[in-house]
Structure 1
Amino acid sequence: MKIAILGYGTVGKGLVEIIEGNKNKRNIQIEGILVRNKEKYKSSKYNDIITENIEDIFDKEIDILVELMGGLHPSYEYIKRALKDNINVVTANKDMLAEYGDKLVKIAKENNVSLRFEASVGGGIPVLKPLTESLEGNDIESMYAILNGTTNFILSKMYDEGLPYEKVLKEAQELGFAEANPEADVEGYDAARKLSILSTLAYHRRVYWKDFYLEGISNLDMKDMDYAKKLGCKIKLVGQSKKNKENVTGFVRPVLVDNNSLLSKIDNEYNIVVLNGNSVGELSFVGKGAGKEPTGSAVYADLIDIFDKRISNIDSFMQEKIEVEKTISNNCQALLRFKSPQKEEIIKLIKACVDEFEIVEDNDELVIMVYANSEYEINNILCLIRDKGYCKESRKLLKIS
């Protein structure tokens, strides 16, 4: 099996190490490696096949192109070219699949080649293959997941060590867990892209990542953590989607989860995906969501699947987009925070709107846990309070079970 690798960063090096460590099992020949700056790899044993010129890669006779560059461009153009040249492709690029998965799957199908992307979701967690193969006889009804190690690391540190967001973010950047520009992680874009890939494969319709309700963690403060502890909860950035008759309900947002729940046990760089099937019930997939070895392992597994001619059904990327409802229509709970409140008026209004609520804090700010028939009901309460001018600022944090 002859391959070329685009990108020789953390994951690329991890893949090469796994290939070298399994030479006695599989003979995978690396024909070329594309990098931005060849000077950085003068001492590499692969220096003679490392290049800055993409044409050097396409001039080789290769069976599989492995794209580990990330980003949308020029990765998209390179993958599209490979597929049209009847070259199989393995990628870890969730940004590109979430944006252009429909086009790339169509090109792969037209040219009778494989497009594999296990490493795009959950790092080393093997979840896409079970979803498209082992669970094919199931109707996947819903899923929830922690899909971003950076935000999970930040939230774990804030909760366990009582450190403010800005300080933990800086530490995460120094440790290499967070990018210099962390927007994609902390605002929920990365998790939404991964959730869209999972949901598209699970529900057999294309679910576009920008259609989810998106809320990041950058506005969370230490009081949120204090209230969570008081309620016997943790705060996690969770992606959740559920298939309804006509549409999908989905979001990526920080939520409260009970300390005895499965989600609360997933800390730091670990990820979890929980699928609910009509026949199999609930299945959980847990592991490291990023990193050299875990992600390299997922890429290597895709190479072997192509070599062994194993086929997964990913045609759902070519289906029409399904409508995504952003608001929860069933029973739910939410922690409401009110700054500079007119307390009596707010409590009176909430009492008139919901059957059950609990005052969590009544000092500098008013904090109330409400139990409602839907998120619409909660949003309506907040709109009424705002319109009547009962507080300067209000915030909502959902609790999920």
Structure 2
Amino acid sequence: MKIGILGYGTVASGLVDIIDNNKDKRDISIEGILVRDVKKHEHRKHADVLTDNIEDIFKKDVDVIVELLGGLHPSYEYLKRAIENKINVVTANKDMLAEFGGELVSLAKENGVCIKFEASVGGGIPVLKPLIESLEGNEIDSISAILNGTTNFILSKMYDENLSYDEALKQAQDLGFAEANPEADVMGYDAGRKLSILSTLSFNKRIYWKDFYLEGINKIEPKDIEYAKQLGCKIKLVGRSKINNGKVNGYVRPVLVGNDDIISKIDNEFNIIVVNGDFLGEVSFVGKGAGKDATGSAVYADVLDIYDNRLNNVDAFIKEKVSVDKVVSSECKALIRFKKPQKDKIIQIIKDKFKEAKVIAQDDELAVVVDAPSECAINDSIKFIEDNNYCEDASKILKLS
């Protein structure tokens, strides 16, 4: 089988190594590798097939194009052209799938080829194929996941080493876990895109990532970590989606996770995806969410699917898009912080509004934990307190349940 690779970064390097190491098992020939600057890569493996011109890739008689450039453009245009030329494609690009997955899958079906994307979620964690194949007999009703290694690393350092957010972010950047511009990670966009792919496959309904409630970790303070420890919890950036009677509820946000929950035990750059099925119950997938070897392995598995003629496409991406409820409509628990509070007035309001409320700090600020009938009830109470100027600022962190 002949393949063309678009990009020669970390993941592509891992893929090339795996292909070379398995030459005696699979006859896969790398016909071309697209790079921006050929001279920069001329010392590397397969330097003889490097090119900075996409036309050189399409002139080759390749069976598969593997897109590892990242970003929306020109990745989208290259894959669309490949599919229209009846070439099977593999991608690890969750940004593109989250935006154009439906269009590309539909186009692939029309042209009798397939698009594979196991590495787009969870790096080397083999989760998408089990969702599509092994768990097909189950109705998946919920997903809870840590989907971004950068934010999990930052929150782990804040918890374990008492670092501030800025200190932990700098350490992540110094170690290569965070980009110079970390916005996509720390604001929850990366996790939101991955959650949309998981939810689309699990619920068999097309779900757009921007329809989730998205909240990042950039406002998490040492005080939040201190309160979490006091409550026997950690703070994790969790992607959560649930379906009930055809209606989807979902978010990506920092939440309190009890220390006895498996999600709280996943630290640093590791990811976890927990799905709940009606027959199988709860199933967890854990592993490194990024990296040369882990993600390269997932891409190679997709290439092998095509090599072995397993060419199915996923219809969920071409279903009608469904709306997503952004707030938790069921009973929930939350930590609420009030800065510069009128303590007596706020405590009285909280006690009147909620059956269960516990004050855990009232020195320079007021911190309470409430059991609420819904997130809306919490939001309404906070708004009432702020509108009456009973505090300077208020924030909340829900507890995962």
TM-score bin, normalised by smaller chain: over 0.9
The residue number in structure 2 matching 1:12 is 12
Shift of 1:48: 1.3
Say if 1:3 and 1:64, in contact at 8 Å, map to a contact too: yes
Query: In 1, Cα distance between the equivalents of 2:305 and 2:382?
Result: 51
Amino acid of the structure 1 residue aligned with 2:302 = D
- In the other structure, the counterpart of 2:249 is 249
CA distance in 1, matches of 2:101, 2:2: 25
User: What TM-score, normalized by structure 2, do the two folds share?
Assistant: 0.99
> Paired residue for 1:355?
355
Matches within 5 A, 1:178-217: 178-217=178-217
Task: Report deviation, 1:27.
Answer: 1.1
**How far apart are 1:145 and its partner, in Å?**
0.2
SS in 1 for 2:168: helix
Contact 2:235-2:257 within 8 A present in 1 as well: yes
Aligned amino acid, residue 87 of structure 2 = I
Q: Does the CA-based 8 Å contact 2:205-2:321 persist in structure 1? A: yes
Q: CA deviation at 1:193?
A: 0.1
- Is 1:28 the counterpart of 2:28 in the alignment? yes
- Equivalent residue pairs, number: 401
In structure 2, C-alpha distance between the alignment counterparts of 1:381 and 1:106, rounded to whole Å: 46
State percent identity of aligned pairs: 64
Query: RMSD of aligned C-alpha atoms?
Result: 0.8
Contact 1:216–1:253 (Cα < 8 Å) also in 2: yes
Residue 277 of structure 2 corresponds to residue 293 of structure 1:
no
1:141 aligns with 2:134: no
Kept after mapping to 1: 8 A contact 2:157/2:168 = yes
- Provide the residue aligned with 2:395 in structure 1: 395
Alignment of 1:219-230 (within 5 A): 219-230=219-230
SS in 2 for 1:330: coil
- Distance apart, 1:380 and its partner CA: 1.0
Q: Could you tell me how far 1:234 is from its partner in structure 2? A: 0.3
Q: Is the 8 A contact 1:98 1:197 kept in 2?
A: yes
- 1:164-222 superposed Cα distances (whole Å, 9 cap, x missing partner): 11111111111111111100000000000000000001111100000000000001111
Taking a change above 3 Å as real, the CA distance of residues 173 and 319 of structure 1, as seen in their structure-2 partners, is same
Q: SS at the partner of 2:274?
A: strand
Superposed, 1:241-320 pairs within 5 Å as: 241-320=241-320
* Cα separation, 1, equivalents of 2:282 and 2:128: 16
Which 5+ residue runs of structure 1 have no aligned equivalent? none
Q: Could you report, residue by residue, the CA deviation over 1:302-352 in whole angstroms, capped at 9, with x for unpaired residues?
A: 011111122445111001111100011111000000000000100101111
Asked whether the equivalents of residues 66 and 91 of structure 1 are also in contact (C-alpha less than 8 Å), the reply is yes
Bigger CA drift: 81-90 or 167-176? 167-176
**Contact persistence 1:128–1:198 (CA under 8 A):** yes
Runs of 4+ off more than 4 Å = none
Q: Note if contact 1:132-1:312 (Cα within 8 Å) is conserved in structure 2.
A: no
- Give, as a single letter, the amino acid of the residue that structure 1 aligns with 2:214: L
Please tell me the residue identity of whatever aligns with 1:334.
Answer: A
Q: CA deviation at 1:250?
A: 0.1
What code does the residue aligned with 1:156 have? S
Q: How far did 1:246 drift?
A: 3.8
Note if contact 2:120-2:194 (Cα within 8 Å) is conserved in structure 1.
yes
| Cross-structure match for 1:238 | 238
Q: For the residues of structure 2 that align with 1:392 and 1:86, how far apart are their CA atoms?
A: 60
Q: Secondary structure at the match of 1:15?
A: helix
Do the aligned partners of 2:274 and 2:282 also contact (CA within 8 Å) in 1?
yes
Within 1, Cα distance between the matches of 2:122 and 2:248?
22
Residues 132 and 313 in structure 1, CA contact (< 8 A), matched pair in contact too:
no
Q: SS at 1:176's partner residue?
A: coil
Displacement of 1:104: 0.3
Q: In the alignment, is the contact (CA less than 8 A) between 2:270 and 2:287 conserved in 1?
A: yes
Residue 33 of structure 1 aligns with an amino acid whose one-letter code is: I
1:152-163 equivalence runs, <5 A? 152-163=152-163
User: What's the offset of the Cα at 1:294?
Assistant: 0.3
For residues 95-134 of structure 1, what are the alpha-carbon distances to aligned partners after superposition, in whole Å with 9 as ceiling and x for unaligned? 0000000100000000010100000000000000000001
What SS class does the counterpart of residue 238 from structure 1 fall into? strand
1:41 aligns with 41
2:341–2:391 Cα contact (<8 Å) kept = yes
* Contact 2:105-2:313 within 8 A present in 1 as well: no
Alignment of 1:86-165 (within 5 A): 86-165=86-165
CA distance in 1, matches of 2:39, 2:169: 32
Cα pair 2:113 2:311 within 8 Å, conserved = no
Supply the AA of the counterpart residue of 1:258.
Answer: G
Say which is worse superposed, 162-171 or 126-135, in terms of deviation.
Answer: 162-171
In the alignment, the residues of structure 2 paired with residue 47 and residue 137 of structure 1 have an alpha-carbon distance, to the nearest angstrom, of: 46
Query: Structure 1 CA distance, aligned partners of 2:260 and 2:139?
Result: 28
1:334-374 CA-partner distances (Å, limit 9, x unpaired)? 00000000001001011111100111111000000000111
Q: Secondary structure at the match of 1:125?
A: coil
